[in-house]
């Protein structure tokens, strides 16, 4: 497996697809750049999902988040994009991204987006 930052999320087969269960993954090490000022932004990213056929490989998730380090990203857009990428890679029964950003201008922002698998 690569150890370089990458937008490609690797997956592995869900060991218990017959049961709906939840996987929660928290990473306090997300950083990207503010598209307006070019200055660093920081966030804790929380992924919670009910897998269908595939699960997100943990090391790959770490490399995926790392891939934003040198990119400009707005709070609202990047949260939705991360959710879209999880959905594209694993087609989960349910998924939720919570991005809790460090304070900017005296203001604390958190963005939360959910996805439900279509039946």
Structural tokens at position 23 = 């996987």
Catalytic residue from among 32, 34, 70, 84: 34
Taking CA atoms, 27 is separated from 5, 36, 46, 112, in Å, by 15, 25, 6, 15
Residue closest to 66 by CA, chosen among 105, 116, 27, 97: 27
- What are the tokens at 16? 């218990």
Active site residue 55: no
CB of 62 to a second copy, least distance (A): 5
For the chain, the C-alpha Rg in angstroms (whole number) is 15
Size of interface with a second copy, in residues (CB under 8 A): 48
Site string for a second copy, 65-104 (x = CB under 8 A): -x--x----xxxx-xx---------------------xxx
β-sheet bridge partners, residue 56: 11
Q: Would you call 16 helix, strand, or coil by DSSP?
A: coil
Name the residue nearer to a second copy (CB basis): 106 or 119: 106
Is 34 marked active-site? yes
Residue among 2, 6, 37, 117 that touches a second copy (CB under 8 A): 37
Which run of H or of E encompasses 75? helix 75-90
The residues that are catalytic are 34, 41
Binding site for a second copy (CB under 8 A): 3, 14-16, 19-29, 31, 37, 39-40, 42, 51, 55, 58-59, 61-62, 66, 69, 74-77, 79-80, 102-115
């Amino acid at each position: 497996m690569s150890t370089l930052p990458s937008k490609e999320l690797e997956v592995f087969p869900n060991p218990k697809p017959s049961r709906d269960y939840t996987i929660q993954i928290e990473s306090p090490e997300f950083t990207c750049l503010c598209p307006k000022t070019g200055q660093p932004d920081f966030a804790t990213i929380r992924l919670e999902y009910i897998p269908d056929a595939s699960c997100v490989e943990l090391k790959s998730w770490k490399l995926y988040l790392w891939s934003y380090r040198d990119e400009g990203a707005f709070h609202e857009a990047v949260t939705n994009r991360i959710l879209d990428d999880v959905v594209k890679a694993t087609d989960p029964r349910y998924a939720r991204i919570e991005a809790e950003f460090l304070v900017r201008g005296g203001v604390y922002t958190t963005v939360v987006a959910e996805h439900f698998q279509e039946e």
